[in-house]
Structure 1
């Protein structure tokens, strides 16, 4: 019986312990049944642990889970096996701890020697089942590390000891994986899907952190530093910049020593200090030479000028070339049904035509530069010509990055009949600083600002159609002007002009209000939000840690400040020592604050604005159409030029009816936008929400400048009683309905 018990405890199934002793025919006494039951439970735990740990060690996708399972099997189950051998050896040596008088071996003495193992084996089985059960056997190493660290807080000393040993094993395995990334910029060869750094779906050479794969002792800022260190080393290695004398290779031993000095369980503060030290040494020796701050200044200035419409002539030239392309396509297709559609959806523009629009834009800007008095070469323009691209994109292909919740309003559909975005090739080594997600955010902001500017330009161009605004026919010259027929002709022409002027009165009033609204909104977004946020970010980079503009004089001297900042960046003794990752983090905060202050994160505003811009396009198209119809009617009546294939009188009636409807829609859209701005101002959306998490931070960290209060815009958007007229009309209609 003792032999069977010891064999079963060693992990071999025993019929003695597996048999049912509950029947009355059993020869065992109740105390013996209870003792055998506890032995059978311990044997079953041991047997399951052997099977489960073997399965995890050979098939689990996580190297950390494999290491924990192997440690349980080889270390802790090995100790249990040695305990079984010690008990057996004591029985054979007739040790008094196991053998009593007359060489009798009490069953209670055997069971008592294994009493301390039951709780540990149950806890081991809980950990093993957890690793096999989570997500269908795909438990991540980070989750296991966190569970083991929580188990250290138990009140049982024996559980605390084994948990500490397993924590050391798990964190050592995780640190071994992370070391390949931290020291060489390489993803682990095994268990890559369990590592916290993953390649993006869009680009296999771009990396991102997965927060659910990070252990609890890795903070968010430390995870960003880990990603930056690995990306930088990977970039140096992939681009072939590294060689045998590269500084980063000489730092390997120092960095490895810092990692080896970490104590287990890993403390979050100590780990953060170690990673920060590695990042700083790498930045000071390699990255600041590879990516000087003057280069960062140059590319950020380019993004400000072209993506954020710092250069107004670029936006105007791009909009003009795009509109000219659409008009040429309509003329070529000989399609006159311009009033039968909403927007430009019936025209299909190809990729080559889109790139040609940008090419002609550069040519237009170059021609403008040649006509200016200053003949100095514009290096920024040449750099933009090499890097910027105008491309067609799928409707759902551009998604903002995770930190910025930009509303998915398709402003990129307004420039042409297809969704197009302005993007840029990220030259090496600037991809250490700029990410594709940053460019996506810049493209979204550019499409937003450009669409507002485009609508404002198209509306103001209506005032260039002089015959629609001022048409008071003068009498013909004598002697015909003095005759009765001449006077009747003048009366007829003036009556026709008065009728047309009356028909266009509401259109001009609505267009004027829309021009005022778009002009003030554009001035607010460009003059206060974009410029104010940019000046604050620029001041922080140049060494002003307050990152806030101190006076309007500083805002006016953009070029001088940039020249001073660029010169200070070039000097080694400059007090501004922002490393590349600090700049990248600050840049993301800058983009976050910019999108929030531009109200791009408020879907209620962007959707209403997009609706207004669509109606403005429709209104402009109808005005041009009615002008074309009236010119044709004048030729038909005055000169006798008749188009047999067109019924201009019917078209005139239809277009005039549509003008009334669309003018009402524009007015309603403006009213809805003003109401949305009032709600935003009341709820403080677009102001406090974008800065709550940015106010507190380490000393010298970038804090976005608080600009663009919505109430400043609302004070300018005072339409008097314009909206009240509509309300009065609605009340009159309601009263008339009640009377009926």
Structure 2
């Protein structure tokens, strides 16, 4: 019997322990108490056999290298230890050890079973773990192969560490170590050499984007839970940078031989298991900083990053007002010329609206003419504008679909879907940018999409403002033009009749245009104040803080006060001059434009240049703050504002149409030029009626937008509190600058507190204009 028990525990089938399966009746041989003892042995033997078969299958066929490593550790550590325990029991029996062999060489069955009692709980836990791996590995509903990922297994094992059994805790720690070592080998290949795992790559959290050899993404589902999102972002950045350096080194001999970080392997070897999240984060951060100091400074200097960010500020955020004005004028001219060509065609040759459809080439031509206009503004002997030349090479104006087939990132989906890009050409058109090779280390497609949305938003407001102000350039509709004839003809009888006719005509038209001019004036006031708030207080304020952080490493106002020479006492100035003349020279630069030299901080330590990953994280915080401060995340504000802009365009078109009708009526009345195919009087009445309706819609639209702003003023969502995000940027509470600064490490970017809905609402005071009925005769001169 002992022989059968030991063989069965070793994994061999035994009819003694499996009588119910073999059909052999052992009731006459084994007593009921012995059968109960053998039942526990049979259970342990069954677990052992299933573990042997399952671990062998998983270790040889599972697609996850981490699952293979864990099952291999189960086999090599615990199943092997169980086999050794069987051999030890057998050796003790053969040696007639007194612990097992009693008098007359009898071996009690309870003693043998007791030797393996401590293995029952451990083997049951190991079988539950192997079942977890096998249950996750199956075929899905759509014939997709689903398998237990390494991240799921690591999370399961780390969760099992919280147990009250010492033997289970020891087993968990050993298996966690095996799993994390296998995972860390994959991570090492990526962060030290920029290579994805050759085996089990589908189980690694870094995945290559399809149809692309250089773009990689991080899949959160494949990332163990103990790894913070900021750590995953750093690892993704390191590997992408190494891939970029490897591609760059083929062309640049200065970068050859430094496309790996094998010297940092010692830092990874010092890690202890289970991995501590904070220690692992510091190790990855150290590798990233080492990469930035040794390689990336040559590949992406800070000056290049500042240059491209300045370009985005000037042209996407309309820092150059002449660009927005020239682009709007050229777009209007292109649309106007298409309609004129359509009107010149014979009626039978017209093909519905195909003659006025904007094409891609015409949109590109509009941007080319815009560059020509901006170049002519500089003058013949002006210095070369490097920013304009760079924008000419990188910027593109293209048509796009209303509903893009490309899925947007969560940060872009948070923006309001209001179609501001439809206003420039009446079809979706966006300003985009070709990101050069090294700059995509901190700029990505998501950032560019955000800049595109902001540009369409700001450009639409600027364009509507320009259209309204251009109405005042039409002298004949705004003033009595041409004036009545003067003496001597004006003193004659015919001349006086002519004077009376022109004055009556002017008075009638002026009365008809009162409501339109009042509405246009109010709309100009509304757009000017809104645009001034968005551009001056929000965009400029945030950009100044972000630019200062780029160049000096800090935007702390208290530090600025300490460093500003005007606020230093005479004794402190004398001390600075004696101690360090370069510090005084560095501080004096703060009075003018920021320079690229590194300023000393108040503690006296030299600020280091930002590495691309830190720059990318700060840039994302800057963009997120900018979109929220521009109210682009509030659909309740952007939708009525868009309707106001559309109504303003309609109102401007009707006023211009009315001006054309009056010009034709003047030619007919004064010069006898008659168009028999047009009923000018009827068109005049229809256009004037339409102007009243549209003017009322503009008034109601502005009232609705101001009402939304007033509702937002008391809403808690306008505080723009920042929280810990997926990029790892710590949050800054809007209500307390000191708390916000303390939540970040020294040198991290903290957005400035700019704007405020109350500051805009103070200016948007229309008096009793919103209470007017909108009738043309009921508008007073002091309505505004």
**Under a length normalisation based on structure 1, what TM-score does the superposition of the two structures give?**
0.87
RMSD, aligned CA: 3.6
Of 613, 619, 625 in structure 1, the residue corresponding to residue 657 of structure 2 is 625
- What SS does structure 2 have at the residue aligned with 1:565? coil
Match of 1:41 among 20, 37, 43: 43
Match of 2:401 in 1: 394
- 1:733 equivalent in structure 2: none
Distance 1:502 1:132, change over 3 A: farther
Q: Which runs of 5+ in 1 are unaligned?
A: 337-343, 730-740
**What does residue 84 of structure 1 align with?**
86
Partner of 2:304: 295
Q: CA deviation at 1:528?
A: 1.0
CA-CA distance at 1:11 after TM superposition: 3.5
With over 3 angstroms needed to count, the CA separation of the structure-2 counterparts of 1:475 and 1:307, relative to structure 1, is closer
1:508 aligned residue: 517
**Within 5 Å, which residues of 2 pair with 1:50-89?**
50-89=52-91
Q: Secondary structure at the match of 2:396?
A: strand
Per the alignment, residue 384 of structure 1 pairs with 391
Indicate conservation of the 8 Å contact 1:473/1:494, yes or no. no
1:462 to partner: Cα distance: 1.7
Tell me, yes or no, if structure 1 residue 720 matches structure 2 residue 767.
yes
Match of 2:619 among 558, 580, 587: 587
SS of match in other structure, 1:249: coil
1:534 corresponds to 2:543:
yes
Q: What's the offset of the Cα at 1:200? A: 4.4
C-alpha distance in 1 between matches for 2:355 and 2:754: 41
- 1:489-638 matches, cutoff 5 A: 494-543=503-552, 545-548=554-557, 564-568=594-598, 575-638=607-670
Compared CA separation, residues 419 and 250, structure 1 to 2 (3 A): closer
- Distance in 1, Cα, partners of 2:483 & 2:239: 79
Q: Say whether the 8 Å CA contact 2:435–2:443 is kept in structure 1.
A: yes
Q: Give the drift of 1:69.
A: 1.9
89-98 vs 141-150, greater mean Cα deviation = 89-98
- Relative to structure 1, is the Cα distance of residues 243 and 427 closer, same or farther in structure 2, using a 3 angstrom cutoff? closer
What residue is the counterpart of 2:712 in the other structure?
Answer: 680
Task: Output the TM-score relative to the length of structure 2.
Answer: 0.83
Q: Does 1:178 align with 2:208?
A: no
Per the alignment, do residues 217 and 5 of structure 1 end up closer, same or farther by CA in structure 2, a change over 3 Å counting? Answer: same
Contact 1:545–1:701 (Cα < 8 Å) also in 2: yes
Q: Measure how far apart 1:536 and its partner are.
A: 0.9
Change (3 A) 1:297 1:54: same
Aligned to 2:294: 285
Aligned to 2:444: 435
Count how many residue pairs are aligned between Structure 1 and Structure 2. Answer: 715
1:596: Cα distance to partner?
A: 1.7
Change (3 A) 1:713 1:111: same
- Seen in structure 2, the aligned counterparts of structure 1 residues 15 and 486 have a Cα distance that, compared at 3 Å, is farther
Q: Are 1:248 and 1:286, in contact at CA under 8 Å, matched by a contact in 2? A: no
Deviation at 1:466, TM superposition (A): 2.4
Q: Cα offset for 1:543?
A: 1.8
CA distance in 2, matches of 1:335, 1:128: 80
Q: Given the alignment, which residue of 263, 266, 274 partners 1:257? A: 266
Compute the displacement of 1:564 (Å).
4.4
CA–CA distance in structure 2, aligned partners of residues 368 and 704 of structure 1 = 35
Q: Give the drift of 1:152.
A: 1.8
Deviates more, 1:128-137 or 1:161-170: 128-137
Counterpart-to-counterpart distance in 2, 1:85 and 1:226: 47
Q: Is the 8 A contact 1:596 1:690 kept in 2?
A: no
Give how far 1:126 is off. 2.2
More deviation in 269-278 or 702-711? 269-278
Matched with 1:699 is 746
Asked whether the equivalents of residues 177 and 188 of structure 1 are also in contact (C-alpha less than 8 Å), the reply is: yes
Query: Residues of 2 paired with 1:679 and 1:248: CA distance?
Result: 61
Paired residue for 2:247?
238
Alignment of 1:104-115 (within 5 A): 104-115=106-117
